[in-house]
Amino acid sequence: MLDAMRQNAQSWGVKIVFGVIIVVFVFWGVGKFGNDTASVVAYVDDRPILVKEYEKTFEESLRMVHNQNPNVTDKELAEGGFRWQVFSQMLTQTMLAAQAAKLNLSVSDAELRREIARVPAFAGEDGKFDAKRYEELLKANGLNPAEFETDMRQNLTLEKLGSYLALPAQVTEAEARSLYDFSREQAVIEYIPFTSDAFSQGITPTEEAIKAFYDASGDKFKTPAQIKVDYLDLSPQTLAKPDEITDQDMEAYYKANPKAFERPESVEVRHLLVMLPPDASADEVKAAEKRMAELAERLRKGEDFASLLPKNPTQGDNLMGEDYAWLSRGALPKEFKSFEDAAFGLEKGKVSDPLRTTVGLHVLEIREKRPAGVAPLADVKDEVRGILAEERAADRLAKVMDAVQDKIVAGVELAKAAEEEGLAIGQTPLFSKDMPPANLKIAPQGLETLFALTQGETTDTPLTTEDGFLLAKVVEVKPASVAPLADVKDRIVAELVEKQALATAKEKAEAAATEMKTPEGLAKVLAEYKDKITLSQPFTRQGFIPGLGMVPPLVKVAFEQKSKDWQPQVFSVSDGYVLARPEKRIEPDPAAWNADKDKWMQSLLQSKQSELFRAYLTTIQEQAKIEMVNVDILGPRPGGDAAAAQ
């Protein structure tokens, strides 16, 4: 709850503390197991972690996980040791609270009031703290002010501890520049591809091989249990009746809520782009500028935008385009400030001269401009109509749901009950528990309920969805089964062909690599594959090479190998194998460093602060005395018996 309400907090003290607590779930060996009262889960240096506090924290954590990852099931969380993760977090928080007390760190009432007043969720329409809204919002989330303020005070204290521990961290410009150069440096390679596609022709697996693959891979062809349901979606969206909203209704709402329709300054822009690396030579830049200037002039003369683009984007000499889209002021990263400035500086209907960004040269055309301010009612009429219709639908949702449910309890079929209330029934295709239809928007618990029903059975209570509730009847059940060989034969053939083609590609690449070890062999291979030798696009140390995918071993060679010789090893890539050699390294743009220096220094400082905090946290964890009391509450421990024996 607190994290959600303080989502805009910027203090690095609290980010360090909670970042480490959340990420570093250390399941260390614990002390003795006691037989204390059932009200305690464990003692940490004689401080108790109470069962009721643990269960409350667990339920809040579970709710947050489901909100962020609706598809994860409680079973998956349990198998992953989620209850132990929550316990580990509480252990860490208890230890840190004890350390804060030793350092005499505390939060005064005045500090607490100031921080609560800064929470955006508690602000009224005037942007200032609203006490009534504060109490209502806490009540809606099952909290009272005393509980919330206790949690808030504890977290602010931990924030102070994080800030205190981070004080020794220092960063020099030289350190940040070194990290920047290392991260932003690029490399280019030359490579010969040996793709599986090139060797797949003529491969025909035998019937015996197909059958053997099928028999050995039965689990791969299992079809999970599936169901088909008739469903009634009850939500403000489905019950809304926009036609009942009058012009007077919309005008009244619009006048009462002007802030809801404020719009930033925007322009409708389209652009052409020719890609240029940061280290492009003066001649390359000059040629690109000439080309883009010619395209700009053709646009000014009224030529069709699409006609200027290559029919095949992969053969367009790095030219691409994006059709009209609305761009808001401040929406682009600062690396594209020149683009944004040009877009907002152009008059409506005008075309820009070529302009440079970090990715290349652009030509912009502006179709429409929209000033900042409240959008006219005419522009947002449909939006207002929808809001009002859904608000009215929300008011009658419970009444409609009760009416339908009463009919079902009385023995009326779901479809008939819906029809009598003037509602439409939907039907899903067959689906598995792992892949429910997106339009159901049903929580994992609801799916468990649906798959527990037999054919012809209807849910006895509404199931919760993202927007409302769902009543459903299972109309077809298809049990789990293994697909017949005939149904998966084409898939097996494709896999066998791919496997054999990859083996042939590897064999050819290895043979070429062996031959290239002599000068004569090198000349022969380069002559044989001269039409396939490819120069890569620039790439960084992150491991991804355009056109080849993630190839960390090859990236390492490109940045560490000093010579430009062809490498003796064969590299596995996304669609086969390659032989490669380093071509060049591209130093980062000094101008970009000057623009981003503060950001990189701040990032490195934060990293050092986190390292200090991690080291401190490890120390207090190693020194802590932990006595488990009710370990069964935590369920299976990650790592099983091995972990418990540590």
| pLDDT (0 to 100) of residue 465 | 84
CATH of 265-371, one of 3.30.830.10, 3.10.50.40, 3.40.50.1370, 3.30.70.1560: 3.10.50.40
CA distances from 142 to 59, 60, 135, 147 (A): 12, 11, 11, 10
Give the containing element (helix H, strand E) for 215: helix 207-216
For 608-613, the CB contacts below 8 A with 24+ separation are 608/169, 608/170, 608/171, 609/12, 609/16, 609/162, 609/165, 609/166, 609/169, 610/16, 610/19, 610/20, 611/169, 612/165, 612/166, 612/168, 612/169, 613/16, 613/17, 613/20, 613/162, 613/165, 613/166
Distance, in Å, from the CA atom of 283 to the CA atom of 230, rounded to the nearest integer, reads: 66
Domains 226-246+381-479 and 265-371 share a fold: yes
- The secondary structure of 347-371 as a DSSP string is PTT-BPPPEE-SSEEEEEEEEEEE-
Amino acid letter, 543: G
Name the one residue in this structure whose structure tokens are 């602000």: 123
CA distances from 440 to 177, 435, 444, 585 (A): 51, 11, 11, 51
What CATH architecture applies to the domain 226-246+381-479? Roll (3.10)
Contact call for residues 63 and 617 (beta carbons, < 8 A):
no
- The secondary structure of 237-270 as a DSSP string is HHH--GGG--HHHHHHHHHH-GGGGEE--EEEEE
316: its two tokens: 């367009």
Amino acid letter, 33: F
Burial (CB < 10 A; 0-12, 13-18, 19+), residue 375, is middle
How do the domains of the chain map onto residue ranges? 1-32, 40-167+627-634, 186-213+489-586, 226-246+381-479, 265-371
Instruction: Give the dihedral sign, CA 574/578/580/583.
Output: negative
| pLDDT (0 to 100) of residue 33 | 36
Distance, in Å, from the CA atom of 428 to the CA atom of 477, rounded to the nearest integer, reads: 12
Amino acid letter, 64: M
CA nearest to 453, candidates 481, 426, 482, 433: 433
| pLDDT (0 to 100) of residue 128 | 82
CA distances from 98 to 92, 94, 103, 621 (A): 10, 6, 9, 12
3-state SS, 596-618, equals HHHHHHHHHHHHHHHHHHHHHHH
φ/ψ of 481, rounded to 5, equals -160, 165
CA distances from 225 to 76, 452, 458 (A): 18, 11, 18
pTM for the whole thing?
A: 0.51
Task: Quickly count: other Cβ atoms within 10 Å of residue 92's Cβ.
Answer: 23
**Ranges in the chain, pLDDT < 70:** 1-38, 67-71, 140-142, 311-317, 638-646
Contact call for residues 231 and 441 (beta carbons, < 8 A):
no
CA distances from 557 to 169, 533, 536 (A): 34, 18, 14
Name the one residue in this structure whose structure tokens are 């981070």: 166
Distance, in Å, from the CA atom of 351 to the CA atom of 403, rounded to the nearest integer, reads: 61
| Strand-pair category, 426-427 with 226-234 | antiparallel
φ/ψ of 125, rounded to 5, equals -65, -25
CATH says 40-167+627-634 is which class? mainly alpha
| pLDDT (0 to 100) of residue 348 | 92
Strand, helix or coil for residue 223 = strand
CA distances from 79 to 74, 82, 84, 215, 636 (A): 9, 8, 10, 30, 7
157: its two tokens: 């204290």
3-state SS, 313-346, equals HHHCCCEEEEEEEEEECCCCCHHHHHHHHHHHHC
Amino acid letter, 93: Q
Sheet holding 534-535, edge to edge: 534-535, 186-195, 576-586, 571-573
φ/ψ of 54, rounded to 5, equals -65, -50
| pLDDT (0 to 100) of residue 355 | 92
Half-sphere exposure of 398 (CA within 13 A, CB side): 1
φ/ψ of 559, rounded to 5, equals -95, -20
